[in-house]
A and B are shown apart, each in its own frame.
Chain A
Amino acid sequence: MRAESVAYTGQSLPRVEDAALLSGRGRFIDDLGVRPGTLEAAILRSPHAHADILSIDTSAALALPGVVAVVTGRDLAALTLPMVAGLKVNVENWPMAVERVRYVGEPVAIVVAQTRYLAEDALDAIAVDYAPKPALLDPVASIEPGAALLHDTSGGNLVSDRRFSYGDPEGAFAAAERVFEITVRYPRNTGAPMETFGIVADYDPHEGVYDILANFQGPFSIHTVLARTLKVPGNRLRMRMPPDSGGSFGVKQGVAPYAALIAVAARIAGRPVKWIEDRLEHLVGAVAATNRVTTLRAAVTAEGRITALDFDQIEDCGAYPRAPEPATLYRMHGNMTGAYDIANVAIRNRVALTNKAPTGLVRGFGGPQVYFALERLVQSIAVGLGRDPLDVIHRNLIPAGAFPYRTATGALYDSGDFPAAVETAAGAGRYAELAARRDKARAEGRRYGIGLAAVVEPSVSNMGYITAVLTPQERAKAGPKNGAQASATVSIDPTGTVSVTTASTPQGQGHRTVLAQVVADVFGLAPSDVRVICELDTGKDAWSIASGNYSSRFAAAVAGAAHMAATRLRDRLARVAAAQFQAQAGDISFADGKIVAVGGASAPFARISALSHWSPGVLPEGVEQTIRETAFWTPPELTAPDAADLVNSSLCHGFIFDMCGVEVDEVSGAVRIDRYVTMHDCGRVLHPGMVEGQIRGAFAQALGASFFEELAYAEDGAFLTGTFADYLLPTATEVPDLDILHLETPSPFTPLGAKGVGEGNCMSTPVCIANAVADALGVADITLPLTPARVAALVERPEPAPPEGAGATAKPAGRPGDRTLRGEGSAFVPAPREQVWATLLDADALASIIPGCHGVKKLSPTHFTADVTLGIGPVKGRYKADVMLSDLDAPNAATLSGNVSGALGTGGGAGRVTLTEAEGGTRVAYVYEAAVGGKVAAIGGRLLDGAAKAIIGQFFAALARRAAPDRAGLFARLLGMLTGGHK
């Protein structure tokens, strides 16, 4: 009965979202306008990776015009509680540093002012005195006994260590014919949505209510965390999301700590406060995916059948275990065996804290890290056994008839036909063509490789999986957690038209279009008859702790909940119509905007649907209102982790098989993708255009992870990738074409048979490409991102003979991440040597010749302090410099050493200046070495050498003017031109 007559669901309809977005009418958070009187915030961030805060002096900032408040960590701590983490560990998890900073970019103070410009001005006037401490960047080193502690109360930087055993891994390894092992280090990267975080917060002191508008992708569990942090009951934390969001990819879960900061700033300022994050802030401190060190062993038969896996994973969660971490480490727990039928699994999961930004949700969420190890290992097994990797994959795939399939670690895979998907993708001559292209390229002496990856893509997380970080005993004490509530509301207004709302907080995917399709089909309407509104208000909308936009849950869970709510309303409408038509409810159908009885009676949809408003008395007895229906859906399969640590971490499990051919340029290290095929089984496809868009988008993001993207730190913890010129995203010129194939095995566990699809290529593509590069170069150890320099270093070529005599004079190679500035040069000053020497030692003279100098104080004949403004690329700031003179050899030479510090960064170094007499004056020669950190390092790295040369040029031009005023004009201009300095 009531078959859905026209299935709009499954068609690539134009999106209802697009017209507004294309014409500049989008309503992103910074497009909405604010209440009159709203103030703007800017955040002062730590230039140090690890330092005690000795003092913060905000008086000068507060005295500036337009500044209303300055909020420090102590002010924050007085009004809030630390944020809870998923771990039981004694670490205070503040959203702003209180006594100590633990990563570069950590918030230290907030200025609230009339405009953003004035707030940023005031940041420079805050004086913070830091006592730097050694920084720990490497998760393996940070958990070694005796390593310095990030948190004195934590008892160690290792904040979680759990071991799991399923089946009989020891027995399987003891009996194994072969054992293979691989260690991989997965880098830090991030989703980098084009829109940064934004918040407008207000506090009502009478009702004690925080009202926070944020481009948050929650609210899910984080609403609870925030309410606790802000010390209000849940009903006094109202969170609202704007209609549009400029992408998230998981990252906008990380708005939460800033929501707390801006909320408290609004409370202290007594006015609404708005904050829009800038790109540097986003890259340095928003959300990083975890970097992970994994050692994975496999017990394997001689034929390549894997009988056991043994994972040792060390997860780097950065400086604070911020909720929902360490979820990245556990999201994959049920599907650690991927697409393979492996009965015996051992896992050791450790969580390390380091002096890096805290981690959180990023598209793929644990998948890239796990599959990089697993699929690299599968390829290594094939190489080690002399077999085709496709053969090893086939041998281990879960067989077609095995679904629903329970994995060793507890997941219940819903549906699939992995062998058919692989055969389809590799068939039709595709794999053979790749092999032929490889053969041909290699015959011509080119480096060509083939990569494969088979991946299970989980979606619709089980809220309870994160509790696997606790022992079964701890879980029993805390009570079970599980489920994946999704909600949707369908309403009918007095004109009989249909509206839909959900708690899915879309981040640009097109949810409004799909919901209109799904609901229209239920009611026999056109999608254009259904209006969908997705901006969420936790104060009055239907939501639960699992609501939000994460874990690819829209198609599988949220669209299903909307279908459920619509179906319930429709069934009631059928009974109402039956009463009107004197028919049976079972004889009523909905099609083409009409409600029709079998006998032929019919009425326009609105005629029946509005009755509940206009004449509720005509509703048959026992039929409830047809005005509004809210459905909450949670799948029964998502049970809590059990006493044996079996974890059904996700409801749906899509399948991906990727295959690619790449060619590596031996000399440049450039990798060209020749062919890329990606096969997806994401269950029933609701909107093919959007599914393709998700696949292409994830693929492009994965290309970034493969070749370009790493949130990089120097050894001292300085952050090095603070701009899009340092943290490179793929552009249209780097993304190759992609062959997308589909197999549909509908999920039996979701209302519409759909599964998630948006994250899969972030899991499969990086390792597929790595496998291809490994194959091309015949190497075993591949680390992402595969930058040209890194690839070129992997190419096995005969070492060129060192130039003669090079051994004695060769400089040590720069360390990775080392951005030490080194330089030397000389300048001619048309003045006698003694005069130049005297000028260099004269505080007043120095004040007039140091570029940007506001004053020099001579503390002793060999110790000066200076206050200078320096501009490096886009970063211009005021610094305090402390300069010591040593090894004085008047009037021939002196060594200058010292350091500078300011809100924009820090630096330290030394240089030797020598003066020699020359025709008509003095030749001043110099050699220097300096290191920089803070904001300057993060965004000015590429520009530092040039800037240093320009500043030095300016210095000597000024020295020439000062020491020889008569001839300075022309000379200084010439020198300025030669050195690139100005004036």
Chain B
Amino acid sequence: MPRLSATALHDVRFTLNGRPARVAAEPRLLATDALRHGLGLTGTHVGCEHGVCGACTILIDGVPARACLTLAVQFEGRDVRTVEGLAPSPDRLSVLQEAFRRHHALHCGFCTAGILMSVDAFLKTTPDPDEHLVREVVGGHLCRCTGYSAIVAAVLDAAAILRGDGSNV
């Protein structure tokens, strides 16, 4: 990584939801602020800014990361995915997103983006999880509205559909 000056703006280039992106960032600029206010992708939310709540979870090179604990300059050369990149097209939802809607797995929706990102990555490596595993993964996120049951049900349902087992609905 090049040596960065604390007071200078650095031209950070990376891939964002499959498209080339760049943002001018001081080294201290948080990835959350770069995404939300620099690039206008406000779907990634900031709930605690200390890495506990998980609302800001994004994927960096396919791995879930807390954007609030990431600096924008760390995006350099990486493949970054956010909730805006989950749906197949602007007027459709992904299988996972549809399952969340069907199961009432969100109320206020503030934490939802982070949960979707963690689960999206999880189901790619673990297509047939049991409830315990799903609870472990969702357990990395705080949701204050739902009590989690509907989220867990939605994830299990989405996993079944993605495996081709058909919907549990």
Q: Which residues of A contact B (CB under 8 A)?
A: 12, 14-15, 17-19, 21-26, 28, 30-31, 117, 191-196, 244-247, 249, 278-279, 507-510, 689-690, 692-693, 695-701, 723-725, 729, 731-735, 737-738, 874, 939
Contact of A24 among B43, B100, B106 (CB under 8 A): B43
B126 within 8 A of partner (CB): no
Whole-angstrom CA separation of A26 from B114 in the bound complex: 13
**Which residues of the other chain, B, contact A194 by a CB distance below 8 angstroms?**
45, 47, 53, 55, 108, 110-111, 142-145
Contact of B107 among A24, A693, A701 (CB under 8 A): A693
Contact of A729 among B104, B142, B152 (CB under 8 A): B142
Whole-angstrom CA separation of A12 from B87 in the bound complex: 24
Chain A: CB-nearest residue to B137: A732
Contact of B47 among A25, A279, A690 (CB under 8 A): A279
Contact of B147 among A14, A192, A510, A696 (CB under 8 A): A696
**Which residues of the other chain, B, contact A247 by a CB distance below 8 angstroms?**
107-108, 110, 144-145
B166 within 8 A of partner (CB): no
**Which residues of the other chain, B, contact A196 by a CB distance below 8 angstroms?**
47
Chain A: CB-nearest residue to B107: A508
Of residues 62 to 96 in B, which have CB atoms within 8 Å of A's CB atoms? Answer: 82-84, 86-87, 90, 93
A279/B149 in contact, CB under 8 A = no
Whole-angstrom CA separation of A723 from B47 in the bound complex: 11
B87/A244 in contact, CB under 8 A = no
Whole-angstrom CA separation of A738 from B102 in the bound complex: 20
A28/B45 in contact, CB under 8 A = yes
**Dominant SS among interface residues on chain A:** loop
**Which residues of the other chain, B, contact A26 by a CB distance below 8 angstroms?**
42-43, 109-110
B50/A12 in contact, CB under 8 A = no
Contact of A12 among B104, B141, B143 (CB under 8 A): B104
**Which residues of the other chain, B, contact A191 by a CB distance below 8 angstroms?**
144
Q: Which residues of B contact A (CB under 8 A)?
A: 26, 28-29, 36, 41-50, 52-53, 55, 82-84, 86-87, 90, 93, 97, 100-102, 104, 106-113, 116, 134-136, 138-152
Return A773 CB to nearest CB of chain B, in Å.
21
B108/A725 in contact, CB under 8 A = no
**Which residues of the other chain, B, contact A729 by a CB distance below 8 angstroms?**
142, 144
**Which residues of the other chain, A, contact B151 by a CB distance below 8 angstroms?**
732
Return B64 CB to nearest CB of chain A, in Å.
15
**Which residues of the other chain, A, contact B41 by a CB distance below 8 angstroms?**
24
The 8 closest A-B pairs by CB, nearest first: A24-B43, A508-B108, A21-B109, A246-B110, A696-B147, A31-B42, A724-B52, A700-B147
Contact of A696 among B52, B102, B136, B150 (CB under 8 A): B150
Whole-angstrom CA separation of A692 from B112 in the bound complex: 18
Whole-angstrom CA separation of A697 from B107 in the bound complex: 9
A700/B148 in contact, CB under 8 A = yes
Contact of B146 among A192, A693, A733, A738 (CB under 8 A): A693
Return A405 CB to nearest CB of chain B, in Å.
31
A117/B28 in contact, CB under 8 A = yes
B101/A22 in contact, CB under 8 A = yes
Whole-angstrom CA separation of A247 from B49 in the bound complex: 17
**Which residues of the other chain, B, contact A507 by a CB distance below 8 angstroms?**
108
A22/B104 in contact, CB under 8 A = no
A693 and B53 contact, Cβ closer than 8 Å, known pairs A24-B43, A25-B43? no
Q: Beyond the given A195-B108, A509-B108, A692-B104, please list 4 additional residue pairs across the A-B interface where CB-CB is below 8 A.
A: A195-B110, A278-B49, A279-B48, A733-B136
Return B58 CB to nearest CB of chain A, in Å.
11
Chain A: CB-nearest residue to B100: A22
A17/B144 in contact, CB under 8 A = no
Contact of A18 among B53, B100, B147, B148 (CB under 8 A): B100
A24/B47 in contact, CB under 8 A = no
A279 and B49 contact, Cβ closer than 8 Å, known pairs A24-B42, A246-B108? yes
**Which residues of the other chain, B, contact A731 by a CB distance below 8 angstroms?**
138-142, 148
B101/A693 in contact, CB under 8 A = no
**Which residues of the other chain, A, contact B83 by a CB distance below 8 angstroms?**
22-24
A508/B110 in contact, CB under 8 A = yes
Sample of 30 A–B contacts (CB below 8 Å): A15-B101, A19-B97, A21-B108, A23-B87, A28-B110, A30-B42, A31-B42, A117-B26, A117-B28, A193-B144, A194-B55, A194-B108, A194-B111, A194-B142, A195-B110, A244-B108, A244-B109, A692-B104, A693-B107, A696-B147, A696-B149, A696-B150, A700-B144, A723-B52, A724-B50, A731-B142, A732-B134, A732-B138, A732-B152, A874-B50
Whole-angstrom CA separation of A25 from B108 in the bound complex: 13
**Which residues of the other chain, A, contact B29 by a CB distance below 8 angstroms?**
117
B101/A699 in contact, CB under 8 A = no
**Which residues of the other chain, A, contact B50 by a CB distance below 8 angstroms?**
279, 723-725, 874, 939
B46/A30 in contact, CB under 8 A = yes
Whole-angstrom CA separation of A725 from B149 in the bound complex: 23
Contact of B135 among A244, A279, A733, A874 (CB under 8 A): A733
Whole-angstrom CA separation of A191 from B93 in the bound complex: 31
A195/B147 in contact, CB under 8 A = no
**Which residues of the other chain, B, contact A732 by a CB distance below 8 angstroms?**
134-136, 138-139, 141, 148, 151-152
A701 and B135 contact, Cβ closer than 8 Å, known pairs A18-B101, A19-B101, A195-B45? no
**Which residues of the other chain, A, contact B87 by a CB distance below 8 angstroms?**
23
**Which residues of the other chain, B, contact A939 by a CB distance below 8 angstroms?**
50
B149/A737 in contact, CB under 8 A = yes
| Most chain A Cβ neighbours within 10 Å, of B41, B135, B145 | B145
**Which residues of the other chain, B, contact A693 by a CB distance below 8 angstroms?**
104, 107, 145-147, 150
A24/B113 in contact, CB under 8 A = yes
Contact of B148 among A12, A31, A735 (CB under 8 A): A735
Contact of A22 among B42, B90, B106 (CB under 8 A): B106
**Which residues of the other chain, B, contact A733 by a CB distance below 8 angstroms?**
135-136, 139
**Which residues of the other chain, B, contact A696 by a CB distance below 8 angstroms?**
146-150
Return B13 CB to nearest CB of chain A, in Å.
22
A18 and B106 contact, Cβ closer than 8 Å, known pairs A724-B52, A733-B136, A735-B149? yes
Return B28 CB to nearest CB of chain A, in Å.
7
**Which residues of the other chain, A, contact B82 by a CB distance below 8 angstroms?**
24
Return B52 CB to nearest CB of chain A, in Å.
4
Chain B: CB-nearest residue to A507: B108
**Which residues of the other chain, A, contact B36 by a CB distance below 8 angstroms?**
30-31
Contact of B109 among A22, A700, A735 (CB under 8 A): A22
Whole-angstrom CA separation of A19 from B90 in the bound complex: 10
**Which residues of the other chain, A, contact B138 by a CB distance below 8 angstroms?**
731-732
Whole-angstrom CA separation of A117 from B53 in the bound complex: 22
**Which residues of the other chain, A, contact B135 by a CB distance below 8 angstroms?**
732-733
**Which residues of the other chain, A, contact B45 by a CB distance below 8 angstroms?**
28, 194-195, 246
B109/A18 in contact, CB under 8 A = yes
A23/B84 in contact, CB under 8 A = yes
Return A595 CB to nearest CB of chain B, in Å.
32
Whole-angstrom CA separation of A194 from B52 in the bound complex: 11
Whole-angstrom CA separation of A724 from B46 in the bound complex: 13
B146/A24 in contact, CB under 8 A = no
Chain A: CB-nearest residue to B48: A279
A508/B148 in contact, CB under 8 A = no
A22 and B145 contact, Cβ closer than 8 Å, known pairs A245-B108, A732-B139? no
A697 and B146 contact, Cβ closer than 8 Å, known pairs A19-B93, A246-B108? yes
**Which residues of the other chain, B, contact A246 by a CB distance below 8 angstroms?**
45, 47, 108-111
A508/B145 in contact, CB under 8 A = yes
A697 and B147 contact, Cβ closer than 8 Å, known pairs A22-B116, A24-B41? yes
**Which residues of the other chain, A, contact B150 by a CB distance below 8 angstroms?**
693, 696
